[in-house]
């Protein structure tokens, strides 16, 4: 039974798992969508939604916490200036996962992780 086990391990060591999630979330914030496997998309979704919720309140502490995960100053600034203000009225559910079917090589379930449209802007 998986009671009270929140971490999705993805079959990787902790450093590798954190790097995978960091790169997926950075790609999501940079391009608006990212194609990956379904399990990785579900794991990255929780991280991205926590960062967007934190970015809705623009304080020095929140910027430092977001930058600690994202590392890149440009992407952090884009999150706080462009992405988060569009979600200010929304209470959650900033991302959407769309299933794309199996991958050709190993039949892994593919998914598209994208930001929900906000403020009437089209991606």
Does residue 27 sit within a domain?
A: yes
Does residue 121 sit within a domain?
A: no
51-68: b (≥16 Cβ within 10 Å) or e: bbbbbbeeeeebbebbbe
**pLDDT exceeds cutoff 60 at 118:** no
Does residue 82 sit within a domain?
A: yes
Number of domains in the chain: 1
Length of the chain: 123
Q: How far apart are CA 1 and CA 66, in angstroms?
A: 33
Does residue 3 sit within a domain?
A: no
Give the CATH number, domain containing residue 26. 3.90.1030.10
Per-residue pLDDT of 54-86, as tens digits, reads 999 999 999 999 999 999 999 999 999 999 999
What mean pLDDT comes out for the span 10-37?
Answer: 96
Q: Which residue has the tokens 């939604």?
A: 49
- Residue 79 gets the label, from left (phi > 0), alpha (psi -120 to 50) or beta, of alpha
Does residue 94 sit within a domain?
A: yes
Give the three-class secondary structure for 32.
coil
Does residue 9 sit within a domain?
A: no
What pLDDT, on a 0 to 100 scale, did the predictor assign at position 6?
85
The range of the structural domain enclosing residue 96 comes to 14-115
pTM, 2 dp = 0.89
Does residue 60 sit within a domain?
A: yes
């Amino acid at each position: 039974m998986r009671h009270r086990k929140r971490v999705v391990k993805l079959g990787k060591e902790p450093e590798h798992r954190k790097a995978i999630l960091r790169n997926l979330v950075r790609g999501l914030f940079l391009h608006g969508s990212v194609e990956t496997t379904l399990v990785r998309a579900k794991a990255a979704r929780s991280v991205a939604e926590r960062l967007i919720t934190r970015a809705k309140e623009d304080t020095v502490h929140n910027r430092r916490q977001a930058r600690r995960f994202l590392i890149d100053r440009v992407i952090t600034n884009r999150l706080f200036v462009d992405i988060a203000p569009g979600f200010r009225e929304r209470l959650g559910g900033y991302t959407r996962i769309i299933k794309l079917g199996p991958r050709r090589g190993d039949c892994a379930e593919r998914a598209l992780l994208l930001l929900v449209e906000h403020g009437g802007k089209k991606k």
